[in-house]
Structure 1
Amino acid sequence: MASWSRLGRVGNLAATIIAVAGCGADDVPLTPEPGVAARKVTVIRGDQTYPMTAEVIDWETRPHPQVPERGMAVHITYRFRSTSSDSSAISEHVELQACAVDGRRVVLLCTSIFNGSSKDCWLGPSADPDLARTADVLILPDQMYAGPHAGDPKDHDGYVPPRNLGPGDQL
């Protein structure tokens, strides 16, 4: 009789653990998959489309002028443009990912680009991954900046940016 009682308690304990483990699962925001990468994208933040585009104007693979001995690097020139007559949208802080990819659109290396900073940047230098294999530079459309109150349950709006991509990810 004692073994049946103990088995019942173990079953109740297991049911309680499973029920508690499920509590709050809906409160944890899921990290969304990144949007479709391209040389020119319309900026998005979740379900919101910004009146703004980001575009890779030019890119080239060459040694970085400050550390040429460290391998090849990719120099990117880009721009953000407003698609609206309201210029306030372009002044909002926007951070996107730009990635150097090989011929099969496998990510070699990524960096962040910003609408309020200089309009060129460097990826690398790097020998691993070999940036000399770069076939294109693509931008992901998703806003990566979660906002000034990210992590604050009272003031944060709940937006969760997609995960950062890295070497080996397929676009």
Structure 2
Amino acid sequence: MGQWIRPGRVGILVATILAVAGCGADDFPSTPEPGVAARKVAVIRGDQTYPMTAEVIDWETGPHPQVPERGMAVHFTYRFRSTSSDPWATPTRVELQACAVDGRRVVILCTSIFNDSLKDCWLGPSADPDLARTADVLILPYQMYAGLHAGDPKDHDGYVPPRHLGPGDQL
């Protein structure tokens, strides 16, 4: 009626299942942690630190001048600086996250900042989440731009940026 599996075959079966389960584990890079947020950070992409820093120069909360009725907003100024004398050493496109946080470093709201964009930025306006609770504006160091060939399995270098943070995330 039924057929029994001999003990020697069970070991082979288990070894085969474990081997197959491990196949491809290295093919998919894991999503890195977002890194330590600060007012000034060195720009990081995977194991590489770019010769570049990003810094929040100043920030303030208040009503947005164009839509004051929509709640508070955070206006901040930032800058990117190369730390290399070689102009080819810095990447052409850098995207980082900047986040307004409360006194416990809980994210209220985040936005992307770019090394080739305007250096004045607004978070909000918003009544929910309440940007009036902002205690600081911090930058996360990891490059969010995966690269020109991010969807191409042949030309992509395997870099996976960290996930975008949102309200309620702890830094």
Quick check: TM above 0.5? yes
Aligned to 1:131: 131
Deviation for aligned residue 1:63: 1.1
Q: How many residues align?
A: 168
Aligned to 2:9: none
Cα offsets for 1:103-162 (capped at 9, x unmatched): 000000000000001101111111111000000000011111010000211100111111
Classify 1:90/1:64 alpha carbon distance in 2 versus 1 (closer, same or farther; 3 Å).
farther
Aligned to 1:152: 152
Helix, strand or coil at the partner of 2:60: strand
Aligned to 1:10: none
Deviation for aligned residue 1:17: 7.3
Cα offsets for 1:26-65 (capped at 9, x unmatched): 3222101011100000111111111111000001111111
Aligned to 1:143: 143
Helix, strand or coil at the partner of 2:132: helix
Structure 1 residue runs of 4 or more that deviate by more than 2 Å after TM superposition: 1-5, 13-26, 87-91
- Alpha carbon RMSD of aligned pairs, Å? 2.4
- Mapped partners of 1:29, 1:90: distance in 2: 24
Scaled by the length of structure 1, the TM-score of the pair is 0.87
Scaled by the length of structure 2, the TM-score of the pair is 0.87
Helix, strand or coil at the partner of 2:33: coil
Aligned to 1:72: 72
Conserved 8 A contact 1:54-1:139 = yes
AA paired with 1:27?
D
AA paired with 2:108?
L
5 Å matches for 1:7-18? none
Classify 1:128/1:16 alpha carbon distance in 2 versus 1 (closer, same or farther; 3 Å).
farther
- Mapped partners of 1:90, 1:2: distance in 2: 68
AA paired with 2:48?
Q
Task: State percent identity of aligned pairs.
Answer: 87
Deviation for aligned residue 1:89: 3.6
Conserved 8 A contact 1:90-1:115 = no
AA paired with 1:166?
G
Deviation for aligned residue 1:87: 2.4
* 5+ residue gaps, structure 1: 6-12
